[in-house]
Amino acid sequence: MLHTLLPAVVAGVVLMLAANGCTTVYLHRTLAHRAVSVRGPVHVAFRTFVWISTGIRPRQWVAVHRKHHAFTDVPGDPHSPVLLGWMTVQRRNVTLYRREAKNAETVGRYARDIPQTRADRWFFDHAMLGLAIGLTFLVVVLGPVVGLLAAFVYLNLFLGTNAAVNAIGHHFGRKPYPNGAGNLQWLAFLTAGEGLHNNHHAAPTSAKLSHRWFEVDPGWWVIRILTVLHLAKVRLSELRLTQAASGAASKAAHVASNAAHAAGAAASNAAIAVGTAASTAASAVAEATKSSPTPGLNT
C-alpha cells in the first residue's frame, strides 16, 4: 500500500509545484503583467507544459486575471472573497473562473494582445487533448495505478492551492500595503511566490513578489536562472508601487521620520537634563569639599 501511495503523493506534489511555477512565472508574470519576457523556446516549453498539466488557455487566464486587477474586491471582480466570502471562493474557484473565462467580452477586452493562433486552434485550445496527453505520460512513466493516483493528488493540490490564492490570500495574511490581499509565506512556498499577494497588488508590474528580506519568492529564483541563461528578461529593474501603495509607504515613512525626530528631541532634552544635573552635583561636591577638608589629609 505504502509503496503505491508514497510515490503517487511525491509525484503529485512535484507536479503541483511545477504547474504552480509555470502559472506564476508564465501565465501571471510574463503574459498577464508583462513583467518578464521569455525567449521563443522557453515560451513554447511553458505553453506546452501549461497545456498538458492544466488545460488552461492562456488568453482566458490572462483576461480573467486582468479583470480581477481592474475590479479588485469590488463588483466586477470575478472571484472576490469580499463579495462572496472566502469559503465560497475557495470551494467554487474553478466554477467562478470558468464562468468568466467563457465570457467572450472579457477575453476580447482584457486579452486583446494575445490573439488566437493557428497552434491554439489545432492543439492548445483543446484542453481535454492536452490533459489526456499529460495523463498518458504519467501512466507510461509511473504505471497505471501510481500514475492515476498521482494525477488525482496533483489535480486536487493544484486546484486547491490556486483557489487559496484568490480566497485565503484575499482574506488572511499580513497586509503591509493598503489592499485587500494578504501575504502568506506558507502559501507562497506552495505556489512559487503567489502567496505574497499583498505585495503583488501593491506592485503588479514587478517580476519579484518578495519585497522584504524575510519573504521568499521561489518563482523569482526561476526568473533569475532564466535571465542568467539569457532566456528571459525582466522589464523593470526597480520596484514600481501603485499610487495607493506608494502613498501609504510615504505616509509610513513620514510617520517614522516624525517619530525619529520626536525620539531625537526627547533624547537631546534628556541629555541636557542629565548634563545640568551632573553640573549641579559637581558644584555641590566642590562646595562641600571646600567647607569640610577630606579626612586623613590633615593628620
Binding site for Zn ion (CB under 5 A): 181
Cβ closer to Zn ion: 11 or 22?
A: 22
Residue 187: burial class (beta carbons within 10 Å; 0-12, 13-18, 19+): buried
Phi, psi of 196 (to 5 degrees): -85, 60
- Min dist CB 33 to Zn ion, Å, is 6
Nearer to Zn ion among residue 19 and residue 181 (C-beta): 181
Closer to Zn ion by Cβ: residue 17 or 181: 181
Name the residue nearer to Zn ion (CB basis): 77 or 134: 77
CB nearer to Zn ion: give 103 or 205.
205
Q: What is the SS3 assignment for 70? A: helix
Closest contact distance (angstroms) between CB of 29 and Zn ion is 8
Contacts of 52 (CB under 8 A, 6+ apart): 130, 131, 133, 134, 137
Contact indicator for 219, 22 with CB cutoff of 8 Å: no
210 to each of 158, 188, 268, how far by Cα in Å?
Answer: 22, 10, 38
CB nearer to Zn ion: pick between 89 and 181: 181
Q: How many CA atoms lie within 13 A of 258 on its CB side?
A: 6
- Smallest gap from Cβ 180 to Zn ion, in A, equals 8
- Cβ burial, residue 213 (10 Å; 0-12/13-18/19+): exposed
Give me the least distance between CB of 174 and Zn ion, in Å please: 15
Q: Which three cell numbers stand for residue 38?
A: 521569455
Q: How far is the CB of 133 from Zn ion (least distance, A)?
A: 28
Task: Judge whether 241 and 212 are in contact, CB under 8 Å.
Answer: no
CB of 181 to Zn ion, least distance (A): 5
Nearer to Zn ion, 54 or 162 (CB): 162
In the bound complex, what is the minimum distance in angstroms from residue 179's beta carbon to Zn ion? 8
Q: Specify the residue for cell string 502559501.
A: 187
CA distance 230 to 226: 6
